[in-house]
Structures are given as structure tokens and as C-alpha cells.
Amino acid sequence: MTQLEDLQRIASEETERRQGCRHRLCVCIAAGCVSSHSDQVQASLTNEVKRRGLEGQVEVRPVGCMGLCSAGPLVQEETSGVLYQHVRQEDAAEILDSLDAKPVERLRCDSGQPFFRRQQKIVLENSGVINPHRIEDYIAAGGYEALVQALTSMKPMEVVEEVIRSGLRGRGGGGYPTGLKWSTVAKAGGDKKYVVCNADEGDPGAFMDRAVLESDPHRVLEGMAIAGYATGADMGYVYIRAEYPLAIAHLRTAIRQAKKMDLLGNSICGTRFNFDVELRLGAGAFVCGEETALIASIEGGRGQPRPRPPYPAQSGLWGKSTLINNVETFANIAPIIRRGGDWFASIGTAKSKGTKVFALAGKIRNTGLIEVPMGVTLREIVFDIGGGIPGGHRFKAVQTGGPSGGCIPEQHLDMPVDYDSLREIGSIMGSGGMIVIDETSSMVDVAKYFMEFCMSESCGKCIPCRVGTHHMHGLLEKILEGHASAADVAQLEALCDMVMHTSLCGLGITAPNPVLSTLRHFRGEYEGLLQPAGGNGHASPSPAGGA
């Protein structure tokens, strides 16, 4: 039985244990750094500590993502805040030598640079700080306090109201008000309800949810359990893509630990609230992130969307009322309950509250993971936090929202980043992928890339998306090859209009967005590739042997 006091005891024990160590070296073991062998760095640091007999004085702690993935492997000395980049296993001795002396200049990464200073962390507050393998670390950082607080001192409807008050909107792409969704499920009848965490994260270039799950898995579990309490569900599923083995492993450990401490399972914290969580692995189909396809997939069927209504909140898993939220949405819940909806609502803009995690990628100096308050400008993200464009090239556009989003040109760089402003200029917030494009890339090529993605990820159920994405892709190819005429662009636009208005699910509905937004802001690039309008604008058919 876990009470608030138990949590506090665990927290203070943990803090004490930590303070016993004079130095604490945090090594990132999230996927980005692991891919540049941070696991070897961790091992050699641990060996070096052992060899020198410094156990108990120097702690080598695996932690989650610190954000600046492009500089990995990253190692931070916690007490001094000194940050090292591109660390190799051979550097272990030198780093240990430096602990009571001067930092290793050769490896230093400026932790005061705008990349770190300009961020504001709620979702990622523990990422890169706590050991994701240890529930005690999470508890020491205030973890599970919100759950215990909700269970012991709030009515379910009060929890829902707190979420409504926070103004939180879904982070999975649609931006639907989270509190409203929770209250729909809470009010729905039925003997059984479910909570589902959408960790399918299929957009190319997006890795926000992966980082959260790898770095701070308990935070998501806690959010789900609070949601279960608020809505009256006793079963939760995390639908996660099988390509995320590390996140899966961390989640599995976390679930086991939480159950052992009565923070999941039956009679949580000695109350009458039961909530169990299981994982369901997806096979990496983008469309399975769409909520009705995801439900079909969990049920063991073919991962294809179905028409809505009914919405999952009315009829979801096995026909029962089901709450589906994104990883990052759940990751915001515990802080909202702990610190109050009003606190959360004080961050961000009028209609977009809180922060947003973005995965910065493309032609930008600092690629990695960032969290910023809603309403910062794109310019701040790209040029301050992101450090601008490398190689002396000029900025051209930033792509947000992945295959469902659009490209934003330079003249809109000072626009605040929030759901509504982005939509206004033809893009979307999306789940948080942000790809910077410089002058060396062709925008038509960018549009083709995303269309290719949509075409190969279309589930094939409805005709507009199944066949329309194929034809739009073919036309983009034709334009890029220089064989197209103005008539082809007109046909492309007609297809965009038709596919977005007639497709069954969000994949098809938004698939034309990258084309439409590049046509809107970079039409000249398309026109520059067209054949001069010769005669009736018909291009030559391929000669024998071709095509």
C-alpha cells in the first residue's frame, strides 16, 4: 500500500543516497546517443570508477534524452553542470581525472547556449535527469504524487475539471481539447471503459514520443492511471511501434515496478481504484496511429480506419467507450494535477496552452529534441535554439506536421507557433516533427517525398487516398522530370482538392497538404520546371521501350 508518506520516504531516501556521491555522471542512454555508442561510454565510465575504487563517491547514472542528439554521446556532471559532447569510451579516464580538477575542455559542450537556455520543460523535465530504469528516481522527482493526490483527495469529475481548466489540447496532431474528450468518456455509460496511449509515432522525422518513453516512462503511466480514474476505466493499453525496442523495454520495466509498488494493478494506493496497463506492439504502419485503425489493430484486426462517428469515446475498443490520447498528452497530466490547471494555462497563448516538444531535424545546426512554450516564434526555434543553418546556406522553409503538414516560408518566421496560427498559413502543429529546409533543396522534391510516404502508407481502404496519392505522386514525379505542362499542375490541384475532401481518414484528408502548401508559398518552383505551353500543353509520350 502506497501513501503520500511512502512516496515521500522513498524520495528522501533516494535524495540521500545521491548526495552520498560527490560526483554524479549522467550518461544519456536514449536511442540517439545509444546509436553513437553511449552504452560503451557508460560501461567504460563504470569500469573506470570501479578500477579506481570510487564506488559510493562517483555515481555513473544512465539517463534519458538531453535533447542535443546531434552532439551525442552526451555526458553531464550533475553537481557542476559541466556537459560533454561526442564522448567516446576512451575518454572515461580523462573525465574521471577531471572531476576534482578542471573540466576536459576538448569535450565540452556549452550548456549555457540558447539551445538549453531558451527551452521550458514540463514534459521533458525529467528527461536527461533521472534514471528511467528506476522508479525511485521518478518518485524522487515528484513522481506519482499526482496520482496519489487524485485518488485520495479528488473526485473523478474534479480531475476532469482540472484538465479542462488547463486548456491542454491533444499532442497527437489534431489538437482536440483533452478535458473535453475526458469528460465525454467519463459521462459515457457502460460496464467497461478503456484508456489507450497512442505511441505509434509514425511521422518521418518525429521522435518526441520515443524520447519521452525512453527517458521517463513512469510519467506516461501515471498520466494514464489518472485518466483511468477520471474517466472510470480500469484497463489501459499502450500501443507502441515494434521499431522502438528501447522504449518498449523501459515501459515494461516501469510497468513491473509500478505494479510492485501498488501504483498500478488492483486497489491502487489502497483505494478501490484498479488500473492495469498492457503493451500492444504495432508493426510500424503509419495509419495505425489513426485512432480507429489503432483500435482495430489492438482488437487483432487489419489496421484500417473506419468512418467516425461513432468516435472511440462513444464506441471504441470492443465497442466500449475508450479514451485515446497521445504520449505527450499523457505526459502533461501529472504536472497539471500536481501544480493545477491554472498554472498550466498561464503558459502559452490564448488558445494553445503549455509547451510543445519538437524534434528538430534537417538543415539545422542543433538537431535534436526541444521543448518550448506555445507561442514562441519559428525564428527563435530555428535561429536561436536550433543555431541556424549550417554551411553558410540560406534558410528556405520549415516543414511542420510531417506528411500531414506544410512548409512555412521565411516571411512567416515571426509568427507564433500555436495550433491556430500554423493552420492559418497552411500547415499544422502536427505531433512535433520540424524539418528545416535550406536553399539547396527543391520544394517540389520535398512535396514528392511526403507524397511518396502517404502513398506507401495509405491503407488502401478508400479510393481517393489509395489511388489519388498514387496519381499525385506520379504528377509530382513528372513535374520534377521536366515533362509536365501547366495542365498537369491543374490536374494535381484538382486531385489535391478531391482527395482532401473525400478521403475516409486523416491520412488521405491531409495527404495533399505538403503539395498545397508548397504550391501556395513556392509556386514559382513548380512553374520553373514546366514545359513551355506548346500547342495544347500535351507532353510527348514515351517512345518504344520506355515507360
Partner 1 sequence: MSKAKVATVWLDGCSGCHMSFLDMDERLAGLASKIDLVYSPLVDTKDFPEMADVTLVEGAVSSTDDLEKIRKVRAHTRILVSLGDCAVTSNVPAMRNRFPVQAVMDRAYRENAQLNPQTPAEVVPALLGKSIPVHEVVAVDVFIPGCPPSADTIHFAVSELLEGRVPDLSSRTRFGI
Partner 2 sequence: MAAPVKVVTLCIDGRDVSGREGETVLEVARQSGIEIPTLCHMDGLEPVGACRLCLVEVTGQARLQPACVTQVSEGMQVATVTDRLRTYRRMILEMLFSERNHVCSVCVSNGHCELQDLAQSEGLTHIGLRYRYPTLSVDASHERYVIDHNRCVLCTRCVRVCDEIEGAHTWDVMARGIDSQVITDLAEPWGHSDSCTSCGKCVHVCPTGAIVEKGKSVAEMAKRAKFLPYLSMMREEW
Ligand X SMILES: Cc1cc2nc3c(=O)[nH]c(=O)nc-3n(C[C@H](O)[C@H](O)[C@H](O)COP(=O)(O)O)c2cc1C
Site residues (vs ligand SF4, CB under 6 A): 287, 305, 458-462, 465-466, 503-505, 507-508
Residue nearest to ligand SF4 (CB): 508
What does DSSP say about strands 433-438 and 395-400: parallel, antiparallel, or unpaired? antiparallel
The answer, yes or no, to whether the previous bond of 73 is cis (omega within 30 of 0) is yes
421-440 positions binding ligand X, by CB under 6 A: 431
**DSSP helix/strand/coil, 30:** coil
Q: How far is CA 484 from the centre of its chain?
A: 38
Count of chain residues binding ligand X (CB under 6 A)? 23
499-538 positions binding ligand X, by CB under 6 A: 505-507
Task: Say how many residues make up the chain.
Answer: 547
Q: Give the separation between CA 470 and CA 449, rounded to whole angstroms.
A: 12
**323: nearest Cα among 431, 232, 213:** 232
Min dist CB 462 to partner 2, Å, is: 5
204: partner contacted, choices partner 1, ligand X, partner 2, none (Cβ within 5-8 A by kind): none
Q: Give the separation between CA 469 and CA 475, rounded to whole angstroms.
A: 10
Min dist CB 464 to partner 1, Å, is: 21
Count of chain residues binding partner 2 (CB under 8 A)? 30
Interface with ligand X, residue 326, by CB under 6 A: yes
455: partner contacted, choices ligand X, partner 2, partner 1, none (Cβ within 5-8 A by kind): partner 2
Q: Give the separation between CA 175 and CA 521, rounded to whole angstroms.
A: 24
**DSSP helix/strand/coil, 408:** strand
293-332 positions binding partner 2, by CB under 8 A: 302, 306-307
Q: Give the separation between CA 92 and CA 128, rounded to whole angstroms.
A: 19
CB-based contacts of 124, cutoff 8 Å, min separation 6:
65, 67, 211, 212, 215, 216, 357, 369, 371
112-171 positions binding ligand X, by CB under 6 A: 170-171
Min dist CB 465 to ligand X, Å, is: 10
Question: x/- site string to ligand X, residues 267 to 286, per CB under 6 A?
Answer: -------------------x
User: Interacting stretch for partner 2, rule CB under 8 A, among 53-61, 143-151, 372-380, 465-473?
Assistant: 465-473
Min dist CB 200 to ligand X, Å, is: 4
DSSP 393: P
Tell me whether residue 224 or residue 287 sits nearer to ligand X (CB atom): 287
Interface with partner 1, residue 532, by CB under 8 A: no
**130: nearest Cα among 10, 5, 18, 249:** 18
Q: How far is CA 431 from the centre of its chain?
A: 6
Cell 478535458 found at: 179
Show the cell assigned to 513: 497538404
**193: nearest Cα among 155, 167, 224:** 224
User: Which listed residue (8, 108, 155, 176) binds ligand X by CB under 6 A?
Assistant: 176
User: Interacting stretch for partner 1, rule CB under 8 A, among 244-252, 257-265, 315-323, 534-542?
Assistant: 534-542
The order of strands in the sheet holding 276-282 is 276-282, 235-241, 194-199, 322-326
Planar angle of CA 194, 196, 202, nearest 5 degrees? 160
- Looking at the DSSP assignment, which residues form a beta bridge with residue 84? 75, 108
Min dist CB 476 to ligand SF4, Å, is: 18
Interface with partner 2, residue 491, by CB under 8 A: yes
Min dist CB 412 to ligand X, Å, is: 24
Interface with partner 1, residue 53, by CB under 8 A: no
Tell me whether residue 442 or residue 502 sits nearer to partner 2 (CB atom): 502
**367: nearest Cα among 384, 381, 382, 386:** 386
Tell me whether residue 338 or residue 471 sits nearer to partner 2 (CB atom): 471
Interface with partner 1, residue 538, by CB under 8 A: yes
User: Which listed residue (134, 470, 483, 520) binds partner 2 by CB under 8 A?
Assistant: 470
Min dist CB 461 to partner 2, Å, is: 5
User: Interacting stretch for ligand X, rule CB under 6 A, among 31-39, 101-109, 172-180, 374-382?
Assistant: 172-180
Min dist CB 469 to partner 1, Å, is: 21
User: Interacting stretch for partner 1, rule CB under 8 A, among 55-63, 140-148, 378-386, 539-547?
Assistant: 539-547
Q: How far is CA 65 from the centre of its chain?
A: 12
State the Cα torsion 517-443-441-377 to the nearest 10°.
-10
User: Interacting stretch for ligand X, rule CB under 6 A, among 22-30, 197-205, 394-402, 461-469?
Assistant: 197-205
Q: How far is CA 251 from CA 2, 132, 217, 297, in A?
A: 21, 9, 6, 20
CB-based contacts of 300, cutoff 8 Å, min separation 6:
none
Tell me whether residue 426 or residue 508 sits nearer to ligand SF4 (CB atom): 508
170: partner contacted, choices partner 1, ligand SF4, ligand X, none (Cβ within 5-8 A by kind): ligand X
Show the cell assigned to 251: 515501459
Could you tell me if 415 and 425 are in contact, meaning their C-beta atoms sit under 8 angstroms apart? Answer: yes
What does the binding site for partner 2 look like in residue numbers (CB under 8 A)? 285, 287, 302, 306-307, 455-464, 466-471, 474, 491, 494-495, 498, 501-504
Contact residues: partner 1, CB under 8 A: 535-538, 541-547
- The residues that touch ligand X, with contacts defined as CB under 6 A, are 170-174, 176, 198, 200-202, 286-287, 289-291, 324-326, 329, 431, 505-507
